[in-house]
């Protein structure tokens, strides 16, 4: 399957929008009590910060007058500065705690959604990109809700309050600051618009790099054995170069905004000093008023910066919410609907089934087959013919485009999905082993509690007990990521032991011994023969002995069943099957 690639630099994409952001925040259930209390405390801090310059101006005027120092004013000014700082710090703490709770809940929601998404989604999306959504995008939402949004609200009110107080104190001086706002916006708006575009592209480039890195690092043995070190250096450096390209643009933006704001700040500072000095000289203002104005100026400019950067952060968060919403809106498996059905003693059948991984290409054509209870049904034929795809339909990883799959007289679509999969055992040619202990892997996916005796029993049935007993920690031995610390044959036997523990009613074997050496194959084959007893078994076969012993054989080529019957019947009626058997005789 073709995987999704990173989007181009400024490719048009649907925005997450405010509605999507609000929806995600509601779903995440942040601690509203902490959030609202923190915001209210921050507003109290803003109020204290706004009063501080006014009282500081009065204090300066008292020093300039004949009455001398006013200790009451000094106490008020100190209380406003220190109290405002402490209250603002407490407000920030509470909103940060609420933000951490939000990101925890949001990640839990996304993780639980990923667990039930259909296999098709994982076919089309790199695991690194999914990881980036789970970590980077959820963090971006938290940053907006817990940090940038409260800062935006408090900064806006602080700037508004400062302007109102400046006009009430000396509207002539305030007018000069007000006139500077359009000039500042004229400088900053193009930079901010460009920053929004770069922010989107940077996030996509980061997700693409995460995908490349995770995919490569997971297959380092393949890299080494293939001598592909230079190749992965090239692909990795291309992704890094793309990240650097956008990082450099962000550096230009960051490097431009600071000097522009400093220029505006210093320009206003000089204007206020010049105009204020003239008004003091003409007796139209006081030194305390000028001092208050300078303090308000130092409050307004950071607030203006915070308001300006909020649009960029909000744009980035819209991109994040859009990607998170895509996951939440993705079609998921339904584990609640359907009947609980016992599969034992019932015939499994496929009737006129057609299927394709995409609408443009059909893989299976008019597949009809039948597996009677407690029989062995073998699927043989050239590689790429569609045998594994048939198994994936039976596992209900995908739904047929047309046709029906039945157990008895009932369509499997009407059977509860969890109940269906619990009664199916699947052993592939490269059985998946999770990082963890042998015990963890044997009981993986099961809600039941098993004793050590039960685990050793299934290990014995799978001819795996001897090598497990030789391990230093036996059942508690760590097998490493993807079972890398044990051999291929040992992984297969653990997978067979896991299947024994599940006691499936239908067993599916996908060339379970195909990639093993002769000694390991013999051990695994003995274990499989034990496992196949008294249960319906479907097997993708390459061993002649398995094919000959099958009750029914289906020859699959180019997505079509071109012949079926017993081994003897197919030898007489199907030339390609006869040729296939002769090839097996030569190789085995």
Query: pLDDT grade, residue 11 (50/70/90)?
Result: very low
Task: Provide the 3-class DSSP secondary structure of residue 461.
Answer: helix
Q: Distance of CA 584 to CAs 83, 270, 542, 546, 551, Å?
A: 86, 92, 8, 11, 19
Q: What are phi and psi of 58, to 5 degrees?
A: -65, -35
Give yes or no: residues 53 and 121 share one domain. yes
Nearest residue to 538 via CA among 562, 510, 559, 502? 510
Q: What are phi and psi of 511, to 5 degrees?
A: 45, 55
Task: Provide the 3-class DSSP secondary structure of residue 367.
Answer: strand
Q: What's the distance, Cα to Cα, between the start and end of the chain in Å?
A: 33
Q: How many CB atoms lie within 10 A of CB 254?
A: 12
Give yes or no: residues 329 and 373 share one domain. no
Please say whether the dihedral angle defined by the alpha carbons of residues 564, 566, 567 and 572, taken in this order, is positive or negative.
negative
Q: Distance of CA 553 to CAs 475, 539, 549, Å?
A: 39, 10, 10
Q: Pairing mode, if any, of strands 536-540 and 552-557?
A: unpaired
pLDDT of res. 4: 42
pLDDT of res. 65: 59
Domain contains 342:
no
User: Residue 573 is encoded by which pair of tokens?
Assistant: 């009626």
Output b/e per residue, 434-461; b: 16+ Cβ within 10 A.
eebbbbebbbeeeeeeeeeeebbbbbbb
Global confidence as pTM: 0.72
Nearest residue to 419 via CA among 494, 352, 333? 333
Count of domains in the chain?
Answer: 3
* pLDDT greater than 60 at residue 104: yes
Give yes or no: residues 556 and 537 share one domain. yes
Domain contains 514:
yes
Do residues 410 and 341 lie in contact, with contact meaning Cβ atoms separated by under 8 Å?
yes
Query: pLDDT grade, residue 317 (50/70/90)?
Result: confident
Q: Distance of CA 150 to CAs 83, 102, 392, Å?
A: 19, 15, 50
d(CA 16, CA 133): 14
Residue ranges with strand state E in 372-515: 376-380, 402-407, 410-411, 424-428, 506-510
Q: How many CB atoms lie within 10 A of CB 318?
A: 22
Cβ neighbors of 458 (< 8 A, separation 6 or more) are: 442, 497, 498, 500, 501
Mean predicted confidence (pLDDT) in 208-231: 62
CATH number reported for the structural domain that contains residue 363 in this entry: 3.40.50.300
DSSP string, 111-126: HHHHHHB-HHHHHHS-
* pLDDT greater than 50 at residue 573: yes
- Is 258 or 135 the better-scoring residue by pLDDT? 135
Mean predicted confidence (pLDDT) in 505-534: 70
Do residues 341 and 33 lie in contact, with contact meaning Cβ atoms separated by under 8 Å?
no
Lowest mean pLDDT among 263-272, 388-397, 418-427: 263-272
* pLDDT greater than 60 at residue 14: no
DSSP string, 185-221: HHHHHHHHHHHHHHHHHHHHHHHHHHHHHHHHHTTHH
Give yes or no: residues 394 and 537 share one domain. yes
Segment 143-176, tens digit of pLDDT: 887 778 787 888 788 888 888 887 877 777 777 7
Residue the block writes with tokens 């044959």: 489
Range of the domain at 437: 348-587
Q: What are phi and psi of 395, to 5 degrees?
A: -75, -10
Give yes or no: residues 440 and 577 share one domain. yes
Query: pLDDT grade, residue 229 (50/70/90)?
Result: low
Give yes or no: residues 513 and 405 share one domain. yes
Q: Distance of CA 52 to CAs 45, 100, 159, 482, Å?
A: 11, 32, 14, 62
User: Residue 176 is encoded by which pair of tokens?
Assistant: 């000069």
Give yes or no: residues 142 and 190 share one domain. no
Domain contains 441:
yes
d(CA 571, CA 577): 7
Query: pLDDT grade, residue 338 (50/70/90)?
Result: confident
Give yes or no: residues 460 and 527 share one domain. yes
* pLDDT greater than 50 at residue 225: no
Do residues 129 and 204 lie in contact, with contact meaning Cβ atoms separated by under 8 Å?
no
CATH number reported for the structural domain that contains residue 132 in this entry: 1.20.1560.10
Give yes or no: residues 325 and 361 share one domain. no
Length of the chain, please?
Answer: 588
Please say whether the dihedral angle defined by the alpha carbons of residues 35, 39, 44 and 48, taken in this order, is positive or negative.
positive
Residue ranges with strand state E in 375-521: 376-380, 402-407, 410-411, 424-428, 506-510
Lowest mean pLDDT among 159-168, 179-188, 338-347, 436-445: 179-188
Q: What are phi and psi of 384, to 5 degrees?
A: 80, 10
Mean predicted confidence (pLDDT) in 103-114: 84
Segment 477-500, tens digit of pLDDT: 777 666 666 777 777 778 878 877
Give yes or no: residues 503 and 361 share one domain. yes
Q: What percentage of the chain reaches a pLDDT higher than 90?
A: 0
Query: pLDDT grade, residue 342 (50/70/90)?
Result: confident
How many Å separate Cα 307 from the centre of its chain? 30
Domain contains 582:
yes
Rounded to 5 degrees, what angle do the CA atoms 518, 524, 527 make? Answer: 145
Task: Provide the 3-class DSSP secondary structure of residue 104.
Answer: helix
pLDDT of res. 217: 62
Give yes or no: residues 155 and 268 share one domain. no
Mean predicted confidence (pLDDT) in 386-397: 88
* pLDDT greater than 60 at residue 13: no
Please say whether the dihedral angle defined by the alpha carbons of residues 270, 275, 277 and 280, taken in this order, is positive or negative.
negative
Domain contains 341:
no
Give yes or no: residues 386 and 505 share one domain. yes
d(CA 242, CA 244): 5
* pLDDT greater than 70 at residue 552: yes
Do residues 250 and 202 lie in contact, with contact meaning Cβ atoms separated by under 8 Å?
yes
Domain contains 2:
no
Domain contains 300:
no
Domain contains 508:
yes
Q: What is the CA radius of gyration of the chain?
A: 35
């Amino acid at each position: 399957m073709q995987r999704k690639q990173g989007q181009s630099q400024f490719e048009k994409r649907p925005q997450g929008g405010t509605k999507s952001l609000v929806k995600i925040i509601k779903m995440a259930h942040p601690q509203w009590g902490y959030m609202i209390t923190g915001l209210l405390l921050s507003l109290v801090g803003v109020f204290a910060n706004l009063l501080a310059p006014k009282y500081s101006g009065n204090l300066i005027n008292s020093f300039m007058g004949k009455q001398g120092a006013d200790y009451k004013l000094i106490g008020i000014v100190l209380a406003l500065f220190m109290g405002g700082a402490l209250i603002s710090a407490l407000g920030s703490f509470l909103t940060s705690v609420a933000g951490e709770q939000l990101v925890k809940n949001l990640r839990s929601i996304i993780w639980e959604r990923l667990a039930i998404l259909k296999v098709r989604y994982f076919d089309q999306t790199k695991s690194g990109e999914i990881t980036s959504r789970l970590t980077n995008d959820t963090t971006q939402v938290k940053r907006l809700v817990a940090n940038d949004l409260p800062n935006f609200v408090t900064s806006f009110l602080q700037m508004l309050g400062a302007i109102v107080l400046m006009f009430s104190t000396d509207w002539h001086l305030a007018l000069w600051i007000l006139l500077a706002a359009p000039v500042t916006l004229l400088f900053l708006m193009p930079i901010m618009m460009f920053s929004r575009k770069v922010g989107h592209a940077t996030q996509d480039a980061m997700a693409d790099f995460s995908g490349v890195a995770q995919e490569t690092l997971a297959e380092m043995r393949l890299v080494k054995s293939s001598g592909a070190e230079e190749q992965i250096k090239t692909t990795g450096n291309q992704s890094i170069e793309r990240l650097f390209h956008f990082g450099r643009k962000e550096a230009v933006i960051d490097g431009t905004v600071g000097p522009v704001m400093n220029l505006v700040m210093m320009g206003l500072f000089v204007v206020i000093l010049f105009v204020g000095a003239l008004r003091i000289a003409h007796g139209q203002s006081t030194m305390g008023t000028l001092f208050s104005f300078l303090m308000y100026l130092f409050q307004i400019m950071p607030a203006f910066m915070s308001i300006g950067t909020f649009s960029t952060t909000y744009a980035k968060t819209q991109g994040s919410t859009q990607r998170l919403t895509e996951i939440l809106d993705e079609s998921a498996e339904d584990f609640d609907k359907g009947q609980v059905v016992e599969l034992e003693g019932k015939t499994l059948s496929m009737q006129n089934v057609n299927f394709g991984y995409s609408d443009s290409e059909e893989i299976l054509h008019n597949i009809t087959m039948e597996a009677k209870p407690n029989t062995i049904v073998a699927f043989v034929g050239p590689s790429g013919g569609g045998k594994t795809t048939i198994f994936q339909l039976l596992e209900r990883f995908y739904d047929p485009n047309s046709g029906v799959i039945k157990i008895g007289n009932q369509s499997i679509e009407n059977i509860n999905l969890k109940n269906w999969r619990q009664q199916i055992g699947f052993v592939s040619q490269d059985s998946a082993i999770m990082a963890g202990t042998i015990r963890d892997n044997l009981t993986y996916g099961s809600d039941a509690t098993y004793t050590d005796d039960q685990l050793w029993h299934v290990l014995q049935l799978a001819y795996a007990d001897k090598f497990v007993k030789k391990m230093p920690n036996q059942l508690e031995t760590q097998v490493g990521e993807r079972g890398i610390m044990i051999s291929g044959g040992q992984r297969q036997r653990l997978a067979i032991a896991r299947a024994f523990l599940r006691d499936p009613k239908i067993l599916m074997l996908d060339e379970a011994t195909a990639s093993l050496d002769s000694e390991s194959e013999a051990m695994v084959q003995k274990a499989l023969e034990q496992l196949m007893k008294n249960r319906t078994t479907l097997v993708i076969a390459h061993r002649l002995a398995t094919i000959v012993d099958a009750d029914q054989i289906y020859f699959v080529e180019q997505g079509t069943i071109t012949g079926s019957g017993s081994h003897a019947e197919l030898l007489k009626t199907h030339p390609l099957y006869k040729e296939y058997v002769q090839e097996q005789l030569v190789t085995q």
